[in-house]
Amino acid sequence: MSRSATLLQLQSLDLELDGIRIRLDAIEASLGDDPAVRDVQRALLEAHRELQTARGTVKALEFDSQALGEKITEVDRRMYSGGVTSPKELQDLQKETESLRRRRATLEERQFEALVEVEAKETEAAALERQLQAAEGAAAQLHGALLDERGRLRASAERLQTGREALFVRIAVPDRELYERLRPAKRGRAVSTLEEGACTACGVAPSSSRIQSARQGNDLILCGNCGRILCAD
Ligand SMILES: [Zn+2]
């Protein structure tokens, strides 16, 4: 095999390894964090907070209602105790009890609305809890599939890495160095093939003398345009 063809083979292993590494990174990211579960968890937390607030409102209104009830009882007691005889005072007490009863009616309306709100929040939280269970179930399933895939990819990477090492030691040091230097600069592709007299990486046709030298394979010839190692095999 010519020097450039050996480097091309090395590149094919490296590109395959690159692909595996990208996929493995994505798998690690997915395993660490499931967006669907996280979204439902956040919504559920918010729903519980709102439910707490709604229940607090109900409690506060109950307290107000009780205090108001006690006040009404007290005014009524004074009115009917026989202790108050002045018509003016009785009239005032009558007005007060009427006003208190109006306040109680308004309060009862608000209590009813608050209870409806609590019920709505309870329904919402229950639905989100079911949703969370479903999302967690799906995540666990996906988790299992991802762990399987990770296992397969790691095995492939190990096999490719072994093959790469075996190949790498057979390559002359200056060729390795040139390849390693070009690879990051050429987005992973340090070697390009020739097809119908043109470099397949950049599409430009090298001079016939370059092509000739590349075909002879004694030296590593670079594409005059993109600077990649040309492989004519
Ligand atoms: Zn080129």
pLDDT, tens digit, for every residue of 62-83? 999 999 999 999 999 998 888 8
For residue 52, report the distance from its CA to the centre of ligand 1, in Å.
67
Q: Check pLDDT > 80 for residue 233.
A: no
What's the average model confidence in pLDDT over 153-162? Answer: 96
Q: At what angle do helices 87-168 and 35-80 cross, to 10 degrees?
A: 170
Give the N- to C-terminal CA distance of the chain in Å, as an integer: 9
For residue 135, report the distance from its CA to the centre of ligand 1, in Å.
49
Q: What is the DSSP letter of 103?
A: H
For residue 109, report the distance from its CA to the centre of ligand 1, in Å.
80
Which phi and psi (to 5°) does residue 166 adopt? -60, -40
For residue 221, report the distance from its CA to the centre of ligand 1, in Å.
11
Q: Which domains does the chain have, with CATH numbers?
A: 34-168 (1.10.287.1490), 173-231 (no CATH)
Closest listed residue to residue 158, CA positions, set 16, 10, 5: 16
pLDDT category at 31 given cuts 50, 70, 90 is confident
For residue 15, report the distance from its CA to the centre of ligand 1, in Å.
18
Q: Say if residues 214 and 221 touch (Cβ distance below 8 Å).
A: yes
Residue 217, pLDDT score? 83
Residues 87-102: tens digit of each pLDDT: 999 999 999 999 999 9
For residue 191, report the distance from its CA to the centre of ligand 1, in Å.
9
For residue 196, report the distance from its CA to the centre of ligand 1, in Å.
13
For residue 16, report the distance from its CA to the centre of ligand 1, in Å.
21
For residue 233, report the distance from its CA to the centre of ligand 1, in Å.
16
Across the chain, what does the average pLDDT equal? Answer: 94
Residue 148, pLDDT score? 96
Q: Say if residues 208 and 30 touch (Cβ distance below 8 Å).
A: no
For residue 5, report the distance from its CA to the centre of ligand 1, in Å.
16
pLDDT category at 34 given cuts 50, 70, 90 is confident
Q: Which residue has the higher pLDDT, 217 or 91?
A: 91
Beta strands in the chain (DSSP E): 191-195, 198-199, 229-231
Residue 32, pLDDT score? 81
For residue 226, report the distance from its CA to the centre of ligand 1, in Å.
4
